[in-house]
Structure 1
């Protein structure tokens, strides 16, 4: 049996929020890497923290040149 659904809402405790961000960020980076390896796909991932710090992943061996990607912004 799997876990039940978790209600998504902002984590009020600052330290818990930062810990959760770090764990989920690392999980996303790992999944992006796995997708690029398993499917031989070019993957680019950009994450900004709430303080504006940039985290990025690029699957190609050359440095991340995001001009090669067509960006499409989705607002939820």
Structure 2
């Protein structure tokens, strides 16, 4: 039954044109949805990269601060006397 309906539809030139344009429209819609999904994924990845860069910068500053800290009380006293803080 379905095969006969498809046979009748495909036999009509107008139906063939409608099917062709319908297939083209469906392909364009699917392509646009794919592009949108890819754009969203790229946006999430960019946001994740930005967050990671901020975190790395904060960690780098923390490590720099640790490297500059006084090693013992004597160095701390010397820095306080010199006004190094």
TM-score (norm 1): 0.36
The higher-RCO structure (CA 8 Å, 6+ apart) is 1
Per residue, is there more helix in 1 or in 2?
Answer: 2
Q: Which has the higher strand share?
A: 1
- TM-score where L is the length of structure 2: 0.32
